Amino acid sequence: MKIRFTLNKQAIEIESQPDCRVVDLLREQLVLTGTKEACGSGECGACTILVDGVSKLSCLMLAAQLEGREIKTIEGMSVSEELHPLQKAFCDQGAVQCGFCSPGMVMASADLLQRNPLATRQEIRQALSGNLCRCTGYQKIVDAVDSMVQETRNKS
């Protein structure tokens, strides 16, 4: 079936099996391999994307659900070659080790900061509670998101 949606601000139309999982559509058909798959069952958050601005799990979504929606993946965060400030914060704070969880972490953080730009550390932990990381121990990831909050606070 033909599916039309917006992907990282570009309108696209693609032929796909309607029951193809979104994570497979992104990674295999569109070769956007930033979105990761680990558990495939909703438990780890590695496959997090934004659908109409809201974080969802692409391993538990079907291609047909994308029709008419606005999708953002990690590839849509940076503008041309410039990293998104949130991605920079992850690098600066040492929040990336093997990097497998990072795309999901960044997307979940983007969802949080959009809703709650002045999130507390507690709220950051809560917001990332569906994203597993086996490397960093989470502290530096929370630091990275918190550094964005501090920046917003200093600006206002």
Ligand X SMILES: Cc1cc2nc3c(=O)[nH]c(=O)nc-3n(C[C@H](O)[C@H](O)[C@H](O)COP(=O)(O)OP(=O)(O)OC[C@H]3O[C@@H](n4cnc5c(N)ncnc54)[C@H](O)[C@@H]3O)c2cc1C
2, 117, 147, 148, 152 from 155: Cα distances, Å: 45, 12, 12, 11, 5
Name which of 25, 90, 22 is nearest 57 in CA terms. Answer: 22
CB 132 to another protein: min, Å: 8
Total number of residues that touch ligand FES (CB under 6 A) = 22
Question: Which span (4-12, 19-27, 38-46, 107-115) binds ligand X, by CB under 6 A?
Answer: 38-46
**How many binding residues for ligand X (CB under 6 A)?**
3
CA distances from 151 to 51, 87, 118, 154 (A): 26, 14, 10, 5
Q: Which residues bind another protein (CB under 8 A)?
A: 1, 17-19, 40-43, 45, 48, 54-57, 60-65, 67, 108, 111-112, 126-127, 129-131
Q: Which residues bind ligand FES (CB under 6 A)?
A: 37-40, 42-47, 57, 59, 96-101, 133-136
